[in-house]
Chain A
């Protein structure tokens, strides 16, 4: 692992049982992501994008291979340490926002740090600043059912950043938004993480979203597609 690299996966494999057989979704993925990089992971449905993100985020365990994140081999962490790792070092942005309906926007943003044992009084100012940054300062006391889809995703972005994570993982962050809202949210997302110097891995289907990334990793049939193969295919099939 180089000095500047934050994430390194080696020979990452994942298979799921399906009846009497098993389906290998990732077949040995080697990826390195440097600190401060904004990386998009693209690929057709079933290519293993989401599985890759889940393994990197410690939401699932690899069948083989390793994930080293911020110097920690996360596949070796216990469940409790992995939970703490997610709270303190990772931020998640989901396609369907996944906000708690009973909490206000500010409370939703505070949640990861509250679960880490911090007091609300201590976390709330940071949450308020983040909401201000994503343009929702005036709506921080609203509940999710009083917000639009784009606003909910902005709250989710603020929540992902509240712990000042080393890595933000975003799964199709614009997949449930209309084009206009998607663009606004995406640009805001990129600007916010850039100015904070945070590293992002974003899984997306959307070429415009991928275009905003510093680097694009393409997955096909559970492996990372080498650039030369990709270029050859892109010449045959102009769109991804």
Chain B
């Protein structure tokens, strides 16, 4: 029976109402596209980690890692002596700038030992008969410190050949290298999307300021050895030899990286689910209106013997068909969207986690496509269940009725009040829980859901409130009572609160996403920007890549400081001009914190950099730099994460062993989500054995302008690869960086808005179809075509306007709580909420714009309404 029902009733409607079916399928398709794209991007990022780890570890089972400044090379011997270790191979890993700001990951390897761990494929040239060898003579390679090997893909994309020279910025400034060989994309050459180069380990140490150090040791165990036991033995040996080192099993490395970005991926997945949710609203609305539209038909089917189950199945399968079409289309679109977004998202992740994540290859499997289609079908079926169940409640007796005689009642259901109440209660609970800080991990995880679901349930109520207010203004005896057509628009919308709510909800969700992201972004940007402006006061910043705030800053030799001082116009107060500082990441109790090793600041800027909040600044800073004092300043979020505050003692694992520091004060710092420590560079150099600096802060002498001195520095040191950046440029860089970090969200917002527009269009069109007779009557009693068009346009525009208002109110509320509570508790940062007025205006304008577009499209349909047919419509 179900087959016949579908054949003769269900599918005929899909066929006969292609516009409605297409719009609904498109809505699902967009939701699925976002779902699939984000899943593919997340999977590609994980694949990137896996490839990197497996390419880098080769045959090794364990890797010894320290902080980014490296650790003493003597550790290699310590590891080699551990029973069960067959080989322990050291490596230097560094990112170097070349050309117009691109970076290349340079591996310094011990060519004589490397084969024990990693295999390289390649040759002196493509057609070379020795194609299996990386280079012909390793000893010759060692004798020439400018030798470097790059991947074949990198060489091809940069026009390099064997014996081509090319420049890289190193710790010693710009240096010339010569390509001695080309690598096929196997082994380590597969890491970082092929943007890698190999050089001799001693040359790399020289070039990158890591003499006597290594960055990692890859360990191959002896055959048959108990790996777990070996891991423990290596860890014990490291514990004895040096502090701050960790041994990681091959499989743990990718997992550790994946865990790091879990939160970020979660936000992306959440956005994609939201988009799918909007698609579900679209399906639910379409089916609900189809049920209303086909009530007589359902009654006839019931009268002639169709069962309730049959009717339910008919509508559910109709939805499933739209789900399949939307799912397939969405999977195809999703792949394209993922291609478009993958690099932006990975760049954004890279900035957020201060870790190079260069996902250039998209992992898109057929399983992901199938999951997308299944998600589309499941979403469509779930969305269709309630309206389909409503269809089963139509009695066969209705087939004998004369149709909708007169007027259906104005619908004010208890259900709407219940939903509204639940929504407001959920929002209130979200507010209360957010104010209470961290309550319980499970409850904290539920908070965003509480907020979003609450907002979704409360949104129709806000729209209805706005409409009621307007309804009062345009009421027959109200202040704007003469606007009869507008009154009809308002009353049509108020007549079916549930339908109106459903119509506008998808748009509200889309706009809410836009405003929430805008408030979060603006709050971050303004709070961190204000802080930057407060603390970064130097006239110029000299670095290797001109981006002091970037992830991959090539550190410089401190010896460049005196050279900068000699440039005319540099203010050398107290015998010293350029003040070097070092910013590095440091593992601490399972997290990666930031260390800022500072010098006493130039008198011109004073202690502005040290934004101390709990003690007098000058007193605190003079203690930090006092001889014989081993102290640190802790950021507020460090205190939040580790519980250490002013007056406490903090123990850090340094390359020179464990060291105790006195916490001298608490500072505001947005440098790291995990926490930041400020310490004297003298102390840092001694304990970390790292004389490099990340950049120099430079002041301009009286009588010179920053532009003049910038030009002078670049003239003198530009050929060495140094770039001077003015403070104003630094702030611009920060703004660009923040915009880029949130750039990917724009695509998500556009997709969500697209679904919102489709949903509004589809549901309004369908609701107009169901009001055919009424529209016909209005035309019959004299409503002009223009008035009818204005009435329909008015309905859509009002939904757009009030949808925008609801989205702005709810979006700001959600963003505010997220910023002050959820983000504050997870990052430990104190971010002040800043509502961007421009975004509020844009959101309202977008709502209005969507309303106008939808209104115009609907109005075009009603403009051609035939009165006769409309009056005869069932």
Contacts and interface: CB of A to CB of B under 8 A. Distances in A.
A83 B409 contact: no
A176 interface: yes
A59 B410 contact: no
A93 to B, nearest CB: 10
Given A115-B484, A115-B783, A120-B481, A97 B866 contact: no
Contact of B783 (A83, A98, A143, A149): A83
Interface string B774-804: 1001111111111100000000000000000
A115 B778 CA distance: 9
A99 B494 CA distance: 16
B488 interface: yes
Nearest to B402: A176
B50 interface: no
Given A79-B784, A86-B781, A99 B406 contact: yes
Interface string B487-527: 01001101100000000000000000000000000000000
Given A98-B773, A98-B774, A100-B774, A115 B407 contact: no
Which of B405, B406, B786 lies at the interface centre, i.e. has the most chain A CB atoms within 10 A of its CB?
Answer: B406
Contacts of A101: 407-410, 495
A60 B866 contact: yes
Contacts of A88: 782
Nearest to A90: B782
A80 B871 contact: no
A145 B866 contact: no
Contacts of B155: none
Interface in A16-47: none
Contacts of B866: 60
A84 to B, nearest CB: 7
B403 interface: yes
Interface in B551-598: none
Contacts of A54: 867-868
Given A114-B484, A119-B482, A80 B784 contact: yes
Contacts of B15: none
Contacts of B779: 59, 83
A163 B783 CA distance: 13
Contacts of B406: 96-99, 144, 147, 149, 152, 176
A48 to B, nearest CB: 13
Interface residues of B, number: 37
A87 interface: yes
B785 A83 contact: yes
A116 interface: yes
Given A97-B405, A145-B410, A80 B785 contact: yes
A84 B867 contact: no
B782 A83 contact: yes
Given A114-B484, A119-B482, A84 B784 contact: yes
Contacts of A163: 782
Interface size class of A (residues with CB under 8 A): 35 or more
A46 to B, nearest CB: 14
Most buried by A among B402, B405, B787: B405
Contacts of B404: 96
B750 interface: no
Nearest to B869: A60
Contacts of B476: 107, 110, 120, 124
Interface string A148-178: 0100100000010001000000000000100
A23 B832 CA distance: 73
Contact of B407 (A83, A91, A100): A100
A211 B202 CA distance: 116
Interface string B398-435: 00001111111110000000000000000000000000
Contacts of A120: 476-477, 481-482, 484
B782 A57 contact: no
B787 to A, nearest CB: 6
Interface in B381-408: 402-408
A60 B871 CA distance: 11
B409 A115 contact: no
Nearest to A123: B476
Given A59-B871, A102-B410, A112 B781 contact: yes
A57 to B, nearest CB: 7
B188 to A, nearest CB: 72
A102 B468 CA distance: 13
Contact of B481 (A59, A91, A119): A119
A189 interface: no
Contacts of B867: 54, 59-60
A221 to B, nearest CB: 20
B178 to A, nearest CB: 82
B781 A80 contact: no
B14 interface: no
B868 A103 contact: no
B485 interface: yes
Nearest to B493: A102
A115 B781 contact: yes
Contacts of A119: 481-482
Given A112-B781, A115-B781, A145-B408, A100 B484 contact: no
B132 to A, nearest CB: 76
A201 interface: no
A111 interface: yes
Nearest to A119: B482
Given A96-B405, A107-B476, A87 B491 contact: no
Interface string B720-746: 000000000000000000000000000
A92 B773 CA distance: 14
A94 B785 contact: no
Given A59-B867, A59-B871, A86-B782, A94 B777 contact: yes
A16 to B, nearest CB: 9
B492 A102 contact: yes
Q: Which of A54, A94, A101 counts the most B-chain CB atoms under 10 A from its CB?
A: A101
Contact of A149 (B405, B491, B492, B495): B405
A188 B867 CA distance: 28
B782 A116 contact: yes
Nearest to B773: A98
Most buried by B among A59, A87, A110: A59
Interface in B251-272: none
A159 B782 CA distance: 12
B773 A96 contact: yes
Nearest to A159: B781
A145 B411 CA distance: 10
Contacts of B409: 101, 145
Given A143-B410, A149-B405, A115 B485 contact: yes
A111 B402 CA distance: 26
Contact of A111 (B408, B484, B495, B784): B484
Nearest to B471: A102
A103 B477 CA distance: 13
A102 to B, nearest CB: 4
Contact of A80 (B405, B410, B786): B786
Given A103-B491, A111-B484, A94 B871 contact: yes
B403 to A, nearest CB: 7
A96 B406 CA distance: 5
Nearest to A89: B782
B785 A111 contact: no
A99 B773 CA distance: 11
Interface string A62-95: 0000000000000000011001101110111010
A145 B484 contact: no
A152 B407 CA distance: 9
Interface in B523-559: none
8 contacts: A79-B784, A80-B785, A86-B782, A96-B404, A102-B494, A124-B476, A147-B406, A176-B405
Given A83-B783, A101-B408, A152-B406, 14 more contacts: A57-B780, A59-B871, A80-B786, A83-B782, A87-B781, A94-B780, A96-B406, A98-B773, A112-B781, A112-B782, A115-B485, A121-B481, A144-B407, A176-B402
- Identify the 4 closest CB pairs spanning chains A and B, nearest first: A87-B782, A102-B491, A144-B407, A101-B407
